[in-house]
Structure 1
């Protein structure tokens, strides 16, 4: 991750000091006009920086073996960008594939390039032609979400080893019951609760209300009681704070907490993460009969097509249905030896004179 994102305060970023001025203008446009989230803008920053580092080598302005971080992009002008062709875009995408970037990563890079060149053509009129026009990589295959089973989720909650047990139990409980994103959980404030609901600020600063079940309300009550007794509470608005410093927990710190809890539960090394706990919440809710449109609202998805990935649970239900057949446990029966039957003259396989029919 670049220095653009402040880990402790993900809504802040440092000045852009290592990219062309046109790219700086575009990122500010995304930030202030389009109101994209800091992490979304940071993703565009990284992809566009990588593209122009590639172009510096393609333009032969640096040696091929120059470390990427030593390539100075600040001298790239609008006139330089005007020389970029569709062929350059294709070669960059091919270069990304040879560098082990999967279909999803290449599609993301192309999206960043399309957004930038469209801005240059239509918003500020600095380019007459868009080199990314009509370039498509197709839709990358969507992987099925990885999630914990119900028993594994119970095991996780039952084996937390922590010096701030109430806080860490509450963190896991909210992840597993509300299906919120890591960035959403980090930014929860004490004032975001009302009765049995929580206000969550999701992608694009979009707000949604999520109802809290009894497990969440109980975990919150127990944690808030301990939190109130902290002697050095600094970030009084923040829900989840450090026991030592009293400051809001960072996203990275919560990742560490989740990893430690997974390890103590014997669930480490299997690719689980805070985002997989979000998948777990969605999967278990869908298994419990939650309507797809309701699940979309709970998760804060823009389109129900994103939520439909959780219909993979139907496969488990179909598997159980087949297993419930009365013949599911029938053992294999060896064929009993018998004399071969005489040929049937009417089955079309033999002619009346005994020769094989054609």
Structure 2
């Protein structure tokens, strides 16, 4: 269904309307493979169809969708949330006053200090949002207002976007972190569960989303190891291993307590899937208890820590790719930046000249 570009009387209401429509569109187009709570997602879509009263209410619905399993929705919404507040501050009277120059001004002022990868996400969100409006707006005469936002010459991001070096734990920090896992005062009914899921992520490098989606049948004992079957991005299957000595006691304790739906290995007190946000909060609390401070303290850092250590000890980029389930070797190449031996050779190249 098409709508006039200035669908509401007030600019802020119209802008919110188009953001609601776009977010609803993205909810229906993003991969729903990780969605565990279909009713929760259906509720969000229904609310978006009816409309929201504020950007805060829209943010709450996006959070609901993310907790239901549509993790990627934040990539689009967070930049749009910033754009909403920026445009309200600038005070245009009509959606037609927005142009590429205004969007470039917004990106320049709002993304300073961010990594190129995050800037790229902001750029993608802007292009997708206005491309959506281009296709969906139509006035009574059958004419559409077309933005054609391309951002090809945005100075904040030229050429291919770079990647910020990921945060990771050093070997000493990993040792401290593991000690802190054992001593952290979890509630008795969730202690084994929390230790188990965090150790699995740290010792195997699997994604947080992959860990919370594990089922009982996916973890298979074999001699002194457990084989763990992973369903990764793009519905690609792989197998990782973890030595049983690292998790056996926690696994046995949790299996004696768990009461989960759909054969889930991990669940909350309601029997449903844990959220990624919950796991990241646990990791952050353990890091704080161990006196470890990082720029990013979420659970995804454990995956970076595993990958960094794996490459340092093996110098095998293909092994890193296979272990982490990367579709491309280029994605794994980020961890070569931590190869101290190669960097030392580079630092020593002028020694003979001296």
- Helix, strand or coil: the match of 2:166? coil
Q: Equivalences for 1:179-328 in 2 at 5 Å?
A: 179-194=205-220, 196-203=226-233, 206-214=235-243, 217-230=244-257, 233-235=259-261, 237-241=263-267, 248-264=273-289, 266-271=290-295, 272-289=297-314, 291-316=316-341, 318-319=343-344
Say if 2:152 is the partner of 1:134.
Answer: yes
1:171 corresponds in structure 2 to 197
2:23 corresponds in structure 1 to 27
Does the Cα contact within 8 Å between 2:200 and 2:242 map onto a contact in 1? no
* Greater radius of gyration (CA): 1
Structure 1 residues 142 and 234: alpha-carbon distance in aligned structure 2, compared to 1, 3 A threshold: closer
Gaps of 5+ in 2: 1-12, 33-68, 139-143
- Helix, strand or coil: the match of 1:39? coil
Once the two structures are superposed, residues 8-64 of structure 1 have per-residue CA deviations (whole angstroms, 9 ceiling, x without a partner) of xxxxxxxxx996443333333333235377222233123223323323333445xxx
2:183 corresponds in structure 1 to 161
Does the Cα contact within 8 Å between 2:116 and 2:163 map onto a contact in 1? no
Aligned mates of 2:344, 2:308 — CA distance in 1: 16
Structure 1 residues 260 and 25: alpha-carbon distance in aligned structure 2, compared to 1, 3 A threshold: closer
Q: How many residues align?
A: 283
Once the two structures are superposed, residues 193-248 of structure 1 have per-residue CA deviations (whole angstroms, 9 ceiling, x without a partner) of 35654343445x5333232132xx44444333212322x72546332345x76664
- Helix, strand or coil: the match of 2:28? helix
Q: How much has 1:316 moved relative to structure 2?
A: 4.2
**121-130 vs 84-93, which moves further:** 121-130
Structure 1 residues 48 and 168: alpha-carbon distance in aligned structure 2, compared to 1, 3 A threshold: closer
Does the Cα contact within 8 Å between 2:215 and 2:264 map onto a contact in 1? yes
Aligned mates of 1:109, 1:321 — CA distance in 2: 35
Q: How much has 1:110 moved relative to structure 2?
A: 1.7
Aligned mates of 2:198, 2:260 — CA distance in 1: 23
2:103 corresponds in structure 1 to 89
Say if 2:143 is the partner of 1:143.
Answer: no
Structure 1 residues 245 and 270: alpha-carbon distance in aligned structure 2, compared to 1, 3 A threshold: same
Q: How much has 1:89 moved relative to structure 2?
A: 1.4
Aligned mates of 1:263, 1:101 — CA distance in 2: 24
Structure 1 residues 218 and 167: alpha-carbon distance in aligned structure 2, compared to 1, 3 A threshold: farther
Aligned mates of 1:35, 1:321 — CA distance in 2: 43
- Helix, strand or coil: the match of 1:228? helix
Does the Cα contact within 8 Å between 1:170 and 1:220 map onto a contact in 2? yes
Does the Cα contact within 8 Å between 1:200 and 1:209 map onto a contact in 2? yes
Aligned mates of 1:143, 1:263 — CA distance in 2: 23
Structure 1 residues 190 and 124: alpha-carbon distance in aligned structure 2, compared to 1, 3 A threshold: farther
Once the two structures are superposed, residues 77-107 of structure 1 have per-residue CA deviations (whole angstroms, 9 ceiling, x without a partner) of xxx4444212211221233157x65655443
Aligned mates of 1:24, 1:321 — CA distance in 2: 52
Once the two structures are superposed, residues 121-155 of structure 1 have per-residue CA deviations (whole angstroms, 9 ceiling, x without a partner) of 46888544403353442255533223223343233
TM-score norm. by structure 2 comes to: 0.65
- Helix, strand or coil: the match of 1:288? helix
- Helix, strand or coil: the match of 1:210? strand
Greater helix share, 1 or 2?
A: 2
TM-score norm. by structure 1 comes to: 0.65
Gaps of 5+ in 1: 1-16, 62-79, 328-358
